[in-house]
Amino acid sequence: MFSYKSFFGSNKQLPITKPKVIGYYSIDGNKRWSSDASQLNYYYPSARSKKNPNYDLNNGMENVIRDETRCDKIIDDILLWIKKNYDKVPVDPKTGKWLEADFVCRRGHLTTIMNSLYDKKDKWTIRACKYRGTIYICQYDSEQDKLEKKNIRYDERKYMSWGFKFEKYLSTQNPEIPPDTESPVNEIEAFHCVFKTRLDDKILLYGAEVDAVVSDKILMEPLPLDKLKFVELKTSKIIQHDGQQKSFDKWKLFNWWGQSFMVGIDKIICGFRNEVGVVKKIEEFSVSDMSTKYLHYWNAQTSINLLGQFLEFVEDNVKDDYNETIYLFKKIPYGNIIMSKEPGNSKEYSFLPPWFTQ
């Protein structure tokens, strides 16, 4: 068991390096994976500078193409990138490992753990297994979890679509051409980057979707990985009183900070919308400033420490190979994280596909 109480009794401060982009890939509107930047979008700053934007996020809502499997957090797309780009993640043969990374996962898995520091009511289960010396992490959803996600409330689905539409107002596939806000939004399309960072003595490799790159001209492939600068595009309800401001600062900004920090983004552009989905104000947030400005609500370093100590707990327990044992780590609402084991050949819990391990 991983105990939050014992974690808070530790004063260990864990160092983390700035995330480095080591690769990228695209997912098109038909869920096809490609090792290119075909789905890369460019931030269009003049759309952000309008004093009275009045961006209607409902525009074209009836033609939205939604991704009904977006909540399914398997990691096949990341595994495919690794399979095709093994030369970009070399390792010293003396280690006996196949990859340099100690852990492979999605950014979302890391931020879920970090967020649990303050979101005590949250519940989740992640799976972990070891393959050739590296631990792979993947979310697990029970049939009940899948049903709940499939049947999300109309309002929740609408808010998600508003977020995608806002991205269309502030980004374009050609930085010299204004955004196309009339075409139907295809929520399946995505551009992903693969990142590497070192947390204490552990190397993490993870994939994350990024909203837009900052560049006044089209970037030619292969992309200049060490020069890429991204922005995060968000929407939120217009804040009308102190209680809403406190909730925004305490919960939403902490979540946004974690998402952006783990991919090296320092600029978040937020469109504040009214009740009917019209953006009335656009505001910019500095990620680097958040960790000090909102220290009275949340501690960024403490969340990093939690992530590091939890991964150490996982590393200490995940010993068997993937074909022998799948390890489950279940966060109990208002409780700790409980570990259990399942057979490596379990159809329900195993997640590394044969094409990756054979």
Is the pLDDT at 298 greater than 80? The verdict is yes
For residue 294, the tally of other CB atoms under 10 A from its CB is: 16
Predicted pLDDT of residue 71? 56
Q: Give the pLDDT of residue 18.
A: 98
Average pLDDT for 272-286: 98
Distance CA 249, CA 265 (A): 18
| Mean per-residue pLDDT, 98-120 | 96
pTM to 2 decimals?
Answer: 0.96
Residue 108: phi and psi, rounded to 5, are -60, -30
Query: What is the span of the domain harbouring residue 325?
Result: 4-357
Residue 153 has pLDDT above 80, yes or no: yes
Condensed to tens digits (0 to 9), the pLDDT of residues 327-358 reads 999 999 999 999 999 999 999 999 999 999 99
Residues 30-42: tens digit of each pLDDT: 999 999 999 999 9
Distance CA 286, CA 267 (A): 5
- Which residues share a beta bridge with 278? 56
Task: Compute the mean pLDDT over every residue in the chain, rounded to the nearest whole number.
Answer: 95
Q: Are 59 and 182 spatial neighbours (Cβ–Cβ below 8 Å)?
A: yes
Break the chain down into helix, strand, coil percent, rounded to 5. 30, 25, 40
CA-to-CA separations, 254 to 61, 179, 198, 266, 291, in angstroms, rounded: 29, 29, 21, 14, 9
**Residue 352 in tokens:** 């590394």
Angle formed by the axes of helices 253-261 and 107-115, to 10°?
140
Instruction: Count the domains in the chain.
Output: 1
pLDDT-derived band at 70 (thresholds 50, 70, 90) equals: low
The token pair at 296 is 């009275």
- Under DSSP, the state recorded for 93 is G
